């Protein structure tokens, strides 16, 4: 009901959702652009040699992650409901921290499942981020790696792959197909960013499928974020505990 002297109230209508698969791709590409732009001045100051690992973890990786998030926020505001939660199910509930154990168990299971594949190529390299971590195992580098790979990566990747990508696929195909396609894209994107992940693609696809099914079942990203974090945390701890130097 409105006052007699006021104009009639206009019902609040939800924004029309127009974001889709191209926006997921553009957000991913924006992340790479952000990383490239952040790396230019660093390479200019260090010549043609490899960058210090701490610069990779402290500047380039955060620049990539921040640019992806800014891209997703822009997509939500321009083409969605202007809410990461309503558009993409982005939320973090502390009670879902129990899913860290699920992620840890999943990492161990998938690693064991990869043993036959890795035996076919005993010279297979670890992922580039782990190789970078191996170069500097000091406290500062480990903290930067932990923040980037265990905290921020699950937040950003779940927002992009299980938020934007999976939900865009669900508007086009059946849920089972959306899960499979999103999992394959998740693995492929990691390979494009780091060809050393080739032997680990089955595990990455398996992780992507579990995360997608979890997001479907729960209706948001909270549980999948914690599963992803538990997976990355376990990978990091096992790698550091091994104490093995990479060639």
Per-residue pLDDT of 154-173, as tens digits, reads: 999 999 999 999 999 999 99
What is the share, in percent, of the chain residues with pLDDT greater than 70? 87
Q: What backbone torsions phi and psi does residue 15 show, to the nearest 5 degrees?
A: -60, 145
Would residue 42 count as lying in a domain? no
Number of domains in the chain: 1
The answer to whether 247 and 185 have CB atoms below 8 angstroms apart is no
Nearest to 236 by CA among 147, 109, 118: 147
Residue 57 pLDDT more than 50?
yes
The answer to whether 165 and 21 have CB atoms below 8 angstroms apart is yes
d(CA 232, CA 234): 5
Would residue 65 count as lying in a domain? no
Domain around 181: 88-242
The answer to whether 118 and 199 have CB atoms below 8 angstroms apart is yes
User: In whole angstroms, how large is the CA radius of gyration of the chain?
Assistant: 20
pLDDT at site 189: 95
Per-residue pLDDT of 167-211, as tens digits, reads: 999 999 999 999 999 999 999 999 998 888 888 999 999 999 999
Would residue 10 count as lying in a domain? no
Residue 4 pLDDT more than 50?
no
Nearest to 225 by CA among 234, 216, 215, 217: 215
The answer to whether 209 and 79 have CB atoms below 8 angstroms apart is no
Q: Show the tokens assigned to 134.
A: 């191996």
H helices present in 151-221, as ranges: 153-157, 166-170, 175-193, 201-218
Would residue 177 count as lying in a domain? yes
Residue 103 pLDDT more than 90?
yes
d(CA 233, CA 114): 18
């Amino acid at each position: 009901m409105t006052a007699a002297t006021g104009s009639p109230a206009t019902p609040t209508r939800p924004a029309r959702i127009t974001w889709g698969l191209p926006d997921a791709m553009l957000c991913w590409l924006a992340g790479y652009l952000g990383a490239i732009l952040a790396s230019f001045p660093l390479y200019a100051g260090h010549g043609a040699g490899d960058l210090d690992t701490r610069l990779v973890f402290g500047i380039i990786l955060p620049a990539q992650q921040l640019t992806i998030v800014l891209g997703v926020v822009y997509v939500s505001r321009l083409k969605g409901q202007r809410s990461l939660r309503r558009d993409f199910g982005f939320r973090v509930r502390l009670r879902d921290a129990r899913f860290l154990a699920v992620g840890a168990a999943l990492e161990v299971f998938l690693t064991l499942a990869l043993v036959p594949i890795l035996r076919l190529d005993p010279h297979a390299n670890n992922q580039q981020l782990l190789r970078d971590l191996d170069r500097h195992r000091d406290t500062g580098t480990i903290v930067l790696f932990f923040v980037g790979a265990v905290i921020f990566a699950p937040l950003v990747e779940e927002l992009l792959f299980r938020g934007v990508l999976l939900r865009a696929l669900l508007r086009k195909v059946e849920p089972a197909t959306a899960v499979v396609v999103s999992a394959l894209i998740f693995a492929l994107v990691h390979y494009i960013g780091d060809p050393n992940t080739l032997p680990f693609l089955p595990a990455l696809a398996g992780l992507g499928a579990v995360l997608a099914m979890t997001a479907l079942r729960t209706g948001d990203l909270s549980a999948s974020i914690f599963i992803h974090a538990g997976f990355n945390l376990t990978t990091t701890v096992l790698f550091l505990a091994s104490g093995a130097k990479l060639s």
